[in-house]
Structure 1
Amino acid sequence: MKIVDLIAWFEEWANPAWQESWDNCGWQIEPGVLQEEARVLICLTPTLAVMQEAIAHQKAGIPVNLIFAHHPLIFSPPKSLRSGNPIAEMARLAFIHNIGIYSAHTNFDQVQDGTADVLAQILELQQVSPIVPTQPGLGYGRVGLLKSSFALKELLATIQSRLAPPALIISPTADLEQKLDKIAVLGGSGASFISAVVKTGAQAYLTSDCKFHQFQESRDRDLILIDAGHYATERPACDRLVQKFRTVNLDWVQLSQQDEDFRLFVQ
């Protein structure tokens, strides 16, 4: 499948028109690869490490020509491109090595098998619906019922084993023996959705990037807040994207091994 056809197929599923006004989904850099057979490296964040990984594959005989990322490379127009600037360096390498960079961010967050939906599947939630619907069948986050009542400590153990976060932050007054039935999830920075989660009746909310006073707010509203980190809550959807891309018989598609969490937890 050519890159132009792969992107058209993807955009029928996760239309860039659904992105938020502040977002920058779609082509970040397109160096003239649209008519080439797609050989795709999928990542959470397009970094120089991922670009070097793609170049290493080229040198090994695999002509990778597309980095498909969840996070945009460019959120706002840079005022200049200068040597030593990471975006400038990514652009330089992209054109030298003929590697496109495409991002699917808030449009991918909303869809079936997107970031939130994959988290709901990992926790085996049932009767799932969006926390905040945006249009029929789409929306941000997911809320659903556990297959059977879990104690909070069992839910935390499940999150640890299936998402492998470097650490979990939870509401300090949470009762680890409390039985849970209804859970909300949202990959990435989801603290702004706390009020919407409370309205769903969820007892616990798995997300990331929560601040001190957001834990206070959740405690005061009887919601158990679970912060598993940005990387751990969004990386699984990238793996799912690899699986979906394989269904369209690409010549080559692989999950990046150089994606970075950007945080180191010191024991």
Structure 2
Amino acid sequence: MNETTRIFGIRAVIEAIESGKSIEKIFIQKGLSGSLFQELNRHLKDGSYNVSYVPIEKLNKLSKGNHQGVVANISPVSFISLEKLVEKAQNASTIPLFLLLDGLTDVRNFGAIIRTAECCGVSGIIIQEKGSAPINADTVKTSAGAVFKVPICKVNHILDAVYHLQTYDINVIAATEKTYDVIYDLNLNQPLAIVMGNEAKGVSNSILKSVNNKAKLPMLGSIASLNVSVACGAFLYEVVRQRL
């Protein structure tokens, strides 16, 4: 599969949820009611799905069929749990290297980062369930297919993932200009996780307070920051350089 699959109809979406499909987003018509909708709503109560309540005109654009007030996008990839991701990395022959994306929203940046991550031997990418760029056709294309090769994990909160990784003695480094430390001065030849932030806001303050280290890239020009995918590539290749 090379792009996101779109399904429509309340029963079809319920069956997708019950069969464990990776659902990127669910669109529900505002004011929808009925017994079948109540059954769907019970599946959504835990808050683990990205749901938008939209006018019927939006649904009509998304689907030409009888959508019954519900349309969902299913991800083209399967996701791995954080526990399995860490276990797999620890059992590998290389030093673990994780990438956490805190609020990244642009699908092309996401795809470019996945491509670079695959080239740099990243053990896995961790994203947040809500508020993150979806994995769709643009992501797949920009990643040059790397999205099918790098394990990707979805978590409820990136901060919880930071704490979880730290319990395994994985050093978590946030990429931020809010520090005096340059990435080249840190020891990256150890189990490591790098946090890249939102395109506009950077890494959130709660995560900055919780990481083991903060690091930046030296900026010699007049522009204050790099594109996040470019900055991520610079960070990852410094890891590669130190580990070669």
User: Under a length normalisation based on structure 1, what TM-score does the superposition of the two structures give?
Assistant: 0.30
Q: Which has the higher strand share?
A: 1
User: Under a length normalisation based on structure 2, what TM-score does the superposition of the two structures give?
Assistant: 0.32
